[in-house]
């Protein structure tokens, strides 16, 4: 089966979802920094805003890492797992 664990497709799916979440977190942190700077106006310590948003992003990515490991275990172990023989004998051909 093309979704077999050794095909790499399930792992690629998990990696793509994890990267999408991480990318959204990075984008949100950058947007937050911009919004804080915009609302605060002149005189804001831009370096401090950047550092605090960077610290927030680091913490969010650390928490996301733990969740992504659980997501991968659930996805590979249960959601995308097709028991052997469920769909009959597999073909020697894999779709392109």
| Dist CA 24 CA 27 (whole Å) | 5
pLDDT digits (tens, 9 = 90+) for 44-73: 999 999 999 999 999 999 999 999 999 999
CA dihedral 43, 48, 21, 70 (to 10 degrees): -150
DSSP class per residue in 12-35: HHHHHHHHHHHHHHHHHHHHHHHH
pLDDT digits (tens, 9 = 90+) for 4-46: 545 688 899 999 999 999 999 999 999 999 999 999 988 999 9
């Amino acid at each position: 089966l093309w979704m077999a664990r050794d095909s790499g497709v399930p792992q690629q799916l998990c990696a793509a979802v994890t990267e999408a979440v991480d990318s959204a977190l990075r984008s949100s942190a950058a947007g937050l920094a911009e919004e804080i700077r915009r609302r605060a106006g002149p005189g804001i310590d831009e370096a401090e805003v950047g550092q605090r948003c960077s610290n927030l992003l680091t913490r969010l990515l650390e928490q996301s890492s733990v969740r992504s490991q659980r997501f991968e275990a659930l996805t590979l172990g249960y959601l995308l797992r097709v028991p052997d023989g469920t769909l009959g004998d597999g073909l020697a051909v894999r779709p392109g």
